[in-house]
Amino acid sequence: MLIIDIEASGLDPDHSYPIEIGVYNTDKPDTSLSFLIRPHPDWSHWDDVAEEIHGIERAELFRDGIAPDLACDQLNHFISQHADGSNRLISDAPDFDFMWLRRLFRTAQRPMLFKLAGIDSVLSLNRQTLIFAELEKQQMPHRALADARIIGEILMGYTSPQTH
C-alpha cells in the first residue's frame, strides 16, 4: 500500500501549493519517495504559521526543491512501479492532498496517472474512527515522508488480517 502526505505553503485553498511530497511504501519501506518542490513562478503565497509547523523555509525550496514537472513525472513513475495494480495512493486528508496534487499537475501541464483515496477506502467506519483517534495522539513531525510512514504503520495495524 502506498501512503501519501503533502506539506504545503499554507492552507488557503485558492493560493497555497505543495512544497514537499512523501510517499511511504508499506510493502517495501526502503523504496519510499520524498522530495521538496521548487515553487513555480506563479506560486507566491507563503504562510509563516505553516512554516513554523513544518519547518521548511521558502529559500530551502529554491535551493533543494525540484521543478513541478519533474515532481509530477517522479510521482507518476514511482506509483506505476510500486502500486499494487490499482495505481492508488492512500491519504489521511484526501481533500487537501487532492487540491495540492491538482494544483501541481495543472501547473506542470502533466496528467495525473494515479488515483487518490482516503482511509475510508481501506477501512470500515469503526476502524477509521480508531485510526484517526490514534493519529491524533501521535507527535507528527510535519514532514511529508515521516508523517506518511507514521500513517502507514498505524494503518497496517488496522488492515492486517489478525486485527478483527
Q: Which domains does the chain have, with CATH numbers?
A: 2-159 (3.30.420.10)
Given a cut of 70, the residues of the chain with pLDDT beneath it are 160-164
User: Could you tell me where the DSSP H helices lie in 3-162?
Assistant: 48-54, 58-64, 68-82, 94-108, 125-137, 144-159
What type of residue is 43?
A: W
Cβ-Cβ contacts under 8 Å for 124 (sequence gap 6 or more): none
Among residues 159, 160, 164, 138, the alpha carbon closest in space to that of 149 is found at 138
Q: Please give the model's pTM, rounded to 2 decimal places.
A: 0.93
Question: Could you give the CA distance from residue 116 to residue 98 in angstroms, rounded to a whole number?
Answer: 7
* Predicted pLDDT at 138: 87
Say if residues 150 and 138 touch (Cβ distance below 8 Å).
Answer: yes
